[in-house]
Copies of this chain bind each other. A is one copy, B any other.
Amino acid sequence: MDFVEVKNLIMKSGMELKVNGVFNANPERFSINVGHSTEEIAVHVDVRFSYLSDKRQLIINHKTGDAWQEEQRDARFPFTAGQAFQVSVVFNFDTFDIYLPDGQVAHFTNHLGAQEYKYIFFVGDATVKNISVNVADKPTKR
């Protein structure tokens, strides 16, 4: 179970976090998280291969006051155990656009409402290889 933590790689509206990694051979779960801290998470992209009762289930959520809020359960699961992956999280002002490895896009409201986040962390059954935060090379609202 990896826990990679990045502080002060500043995500502002209009920017994109791109992460590349490789899933473990028998992963249970891996998540990508952007926010202020482990208790205040603006977007939690939770890739559940086999976790609790979930099998091959993508869940997106946010956390505030160290409490998870309402899960957004996504029907798509373009992830493969043991394989490399790239996921982008575009910080699109009041929304996060999450570009899945197959190019599909999931949208998640910026419930915390900040226009800047300074804490990124990854937890779970994958090896993170590359982390980049740049001006988004994908469409944004402004």
Binding site for B on A (CB under 8 A): 2-9, 20, 128-134
Main secondary structure of the interface of A (DSSP, over half): strand
C-alpha spacing A7/B41, complex, angstroms: 18
Chain B neighbourhood of A20, CB < 8 A: 132
Stoichiometry (number of copies): 2
Given A4-B6, A4-B9, A130-B134, 16 more pairs with CB closer than 8 A: A2-B8, A3-B7, A3-B8, A4-B8, A5-B7, A6-B6, A6-B7, A9-B128, A9-B131, A20-B132, A129-B133, A129-B134, A130-B130, A130-B131, A131-B131, A132-B132
Chain B neighbourhood of A5, CB < 8 A: 5-8
